[in-house]
Amino acid sequence: MIDIRNITKSYNNGAIKAVDNLSLEVKKGEIFGFIGPNGAGKTTTIKMIVGLLNPDNGNILINGIDIMKQSIEAKRMIGYVPDSPLLYDRLTGTEYLNFMADIYGVAADVRRERIENYLRMFELEDAAPDLIKSYSHGMKQKIALTGALIHNPEVWILDEPMVGLDPKSSHLLKNQMREHCDKGNTVFFSTHVLDVAERLCDRVGIIHKGKLIAIGTMDELRQGDIKESLENIFLELTEK
Amino acid sequence: MKPFAAFVKMQLNVNYGISALKYRFTREKKKRWEPILIAAVMVLSFAPLLVIYTAMMLSLFTAGLAIGQPDMVLTLSIMFSLSIILFFGIFYVMGTFYFSNDLESFVPLPLKPYEVIAGKFIVVIINEYLTSVPIMLPPIIIYGAGTGQGILYWIRSLILMLTVPIIPLTIASLLVMLLMRLVNLRKYKDFLTIAAGIIGVAISLGLSTYMQKMPNNPEKMESFFIGQRGLADMVGERFPPVRWATEGLTDGGLAGIGYLLLFLLTCALFLTLLMMLSNRVFYKSLLAGREVSRKRRTLTDSQKQKSFGKASDPVIAMMRRDWRILVRTPLYLLNGFVGTIIGPLIFVYVLVMQGSEPEFAQLFNEINKPELLPYVLLGGLGLMLFTAGMNMVASTALSREGSTLWITKMIPVTGRQQANAKLVVSIIVSLLGVITTALIMIIFLRLPVLWVLGASVIGLLGSVPMNAINLTLDIFHPKLVWNSEQEAMKQNMNGGIGMLLSMLVLFILAAAAFIMISLESPMWLVFIGIGFVAAVLGLLTMILLYKVAEKKYRELEA
């Protein structure tokens, strides 16, 4: 569960509010899609949730634990992949995954099974012993995903996870997200692909100029008009 | 604006963070004090060195005046600048020409290879002024004021100061380009890059030694001391531009202008050569260097077991990560290790160059006498600590993470654990310096093994506070935005300030030794005393390190 309470993040001494008094809750068992135009504050919000940025005000609780106050405990429950994963170019994929497994204290036999599963799923088995430097963008994305999920975290936070993935991997990832939530866990992801958000998410939040301008299930967002697509809703709301 | 002018402007902007500075001063007013504070710390840290250097130059000028050679001080400073720029230029040019992240984006631009090199070269030259101007300005002022020179002299010195880095940097660039062209033909590129760096450094050292070696001929030396033949004249025999530069400054007549023109012409010639060569080989060597080979092999079951079947503690995992990145990145390896290992070897080289066989035999006899041995060991310990503190591995440890900082921020690891991993890695590199020095003491100076081992333990102990304070500095103020690995290490002010902090630790330990010796303590007690002071300093700096790390790792944003 993710509980965001009145977070604000501003730059230039408060002149630019990247995120403005944003509150939202993502429940257990829920896939939450976070959408918004470029520069709306999606990545800033996500970075605050995982502890990369410190909010000026407000709190963020991961399963009831404050990411600012008990950051280590909170971070243990999170698996995070950024929008453009800059990894250690001079490590091999294998070394990176082992590093992540060591950091999260994943036991040897468990890690082997999980790593093998993900590498097979993403078709990375042959590339794993190579330096990350030699990977394409999509391969880096896949290794980052594997590294983030290796400790089987309850809360997945993915910033534009489909970008760079081939259709098959993207499809498999979406299935994994669904399975993960069906087990009572939480997935929070941002995307520009509104079709994906519409089909996959239990609830969607739309952020514009740092403020959450709409939140709810697809039905709630449609407000009774069944034919209304998320694209139309999005355009209407963000072009006001 | 012409494309080349736009390119140079952009390069300068990126290199000096002009837009970033503007932004900081106009928008982020709270952080305005940061660059000012850094500049102040830099000036204050280097001021004592500059004062000592100026005093040395002043006494050299007075001595030169006495033997009728006031211009000696100028020749020496020009030579010194050339050697230093040549030596550091190798790494610098390698980093800027071949390992910048922005290079690939220039290849598709409608710029000729020589224009890209020229743009990068201008940035490097301007950066080198930071080295050459402090070396040359004091002697120029001393000579100018001491001999009452007119306005022409000052104009000429300005021209000279601006052009002095050209020749050594061109030599460095030519060397690097040729070596890199060879390197990229082979499979083991990273290894060969390191070899190329070492060969480059060796060649530059050789060239400097060749330029500076005094004639052995006693007649020539005599004519120097009675002032018939100037130093410039003698050095000029080996490397004429030094003579032309000196004469161009000191000769007030037409001949002086002629010499200066000759010097400038040489610079132009070197530059033309560089531009011609860059058109031919630069892109070839650059692009070949960017190709990464993949092996693409499926792991067998036993390989999988080996790869994934072992878990370790997070701190050890972070140490392993840092170590692998350090030794697999040629520029980190060159800057961090080569200095540590080459430093003591240069000491041997200087000794060998200056002495003869019987002199050495006598030297070994002398230093192994019981009354002298402890002092020699003390000197050796000093050299150990010096090499241990000069590697910049600790003072750039967090900076080197650059754009991968998000991983560090994301993982559930405390600031103390992060600091511990980095501290151990830096101490291991320092230990290499200690071991090299110890080996030299045992093999070359033939000192007793047990004593040298004892000194090494104290050396290792002394490297703890050095590395801890350097690491504290980098965690307190890391340089995380950089374009090339070179920038993260060599163009990182923390490196320079860190070395001064290491020297401060060395100074405290030396002062402790001095006090105990003047109190007539037995030598074994002096060594134990140094070890004790080092341990206390280590403890204090580690407490500081943990405090700063816990706070800063929380505050840092990625």
Mutation target vs A (from B304, B411, B416, B480; most A CBs, 10 A cutoff): B411
Q: Are A10 and A16 in contact (CB under 8 A)?
A: yes
Over residues B282-310, mean pLDDT: 71
Dist. CA A17–CA B408, nearest whole Å: 26
On the question of pLDDT at B4 being above 90, the answer is no
Say if residues B145 and B70 touch (Cβ distance below 8 Å). no
Percent helix, strand and coil across chain B, each rounded to 5? 80, 0, 20
- Determine the pLDDT at residue A174: 94
Cα–Cα separations (whole angstroms), residue A38 to A218, A238, B23: 22, 11, 22
Could you give phi then psi for residue A155, rounded to 5 degrees? -110, 120
CA-wise closest residue to A212 among A10, A71, A36, A32: A36
Tell if the CB–CB gap between A71 and B554 is shorter than 8 Å. yes
The per-residue pLDDT for B19 is 75
CB A30 within 8 A of CB A202: yes
Provide, as residue numbers in chain A, all residues whose Cβ is less than 8 Å from the Cβ of B311: 101-102, 105-108, 111
Strand order in the sheet with A65-66: A16-26, A2-11, A57-62, A65-66
Please report which confidence band the pLDDT of residue B199 belongs to, taking 50, 70 and 90 as the band edges: confident
Domain ranges of chain B: 1-41, 76-290, 314-555
User: Are A126 and B321 within 8 A, CB to CB?
Assistant: no
Q: Mean pLDDT over residues A44-51, rounded? A: 96
Q: Which residue in A has a C-alpha nearest to residue B291's C-alpha?
A: A134
Report which secondary-structure segment, H or E, holds B320.
helix B314-328
Q: Is the pLDDT of residue B186 over 60?
A: no
Q: What are chain A's domains? A: 2-77+155-238 (3.40.50.300), 87-153 (no CATH)
Angle, helices B339-354 vs B373-388, to 10°: value is 140
Residue A100, classified by CB atoms within 10 Å of its CB into exposed (0-12), middle (13-18) or buried (19+), is: buried
Chain A residues with CB under 8 Å of B410 CB are 50-52, 75, 78, 80
Q: What is the rounded average pLDDT of the residues A59-86?
A: 94
A127 at interface of B, judged by CB pairs closer than 8 A = yes
The answer to whether A72 faces chain B, any CB pair under 8 Å, is yes
- Interface contact A146, partner B, CB < 8 A: no
Which of residues B201 and B174 earns the better pLDDT score? B174
Taking the model in full, what pTM does it have?
0.81
How many Å is the Cα radius of gyration of chain B?
Answer: 26
Chain A nearest C-alpha distance from B342 (Å): 25
Cα B489 to its chain centre, rounded Å, is 10
Token pair 């971070």 is found at A75
Torsion of CA B458, B460, B465, B470, to 10 degrees: 150
Question: Could you tell me if A206 lies within 8 Å of chain B, comparing CB atoms?
Answer: no
DSSP string for chain A:
-EEEEEEEEEETTTTEEEEEEEEEEE-TT-EEEEE--TTSSHHHHHHHHHTSS--SEEEEEETTEETTTSHHHHHHTEEEE-SS----TTSBHHHHHHHHHHHTT--HHHHHHHHHHHHHHTT-TTTTTSBGGG--HHHHHHHHHHHHHTT--SEEEEESTTTT--HHHHHHHHHHHHHHHHTT-EEEEE-S-HHHHHHH-SEEEEEETTEEEEEE-HHHHHTT-TT--HHHHHHHHHT-
Average the pLDDT over each of A89-103, B10-24, B425-439, B468-482 and give the range with the smallest value: B10-24
Residue B85, pLDDT > 80, answer: yes
- Better-scored residue on pLDDT, B95 or B539: B539
Asked if A143 and A100 count as a contact pair (C-beta separation under 8 A), the reply is no
Residue A9 pLDDT > 90: yes
Which residues of B are less than 8 Å from A109 in CB distance? 309
pLDDT score for A229: 87
What's the complex ipTM?
0.95
Confidence tier at A23 by pLDDT (50, 70, 90):
very high
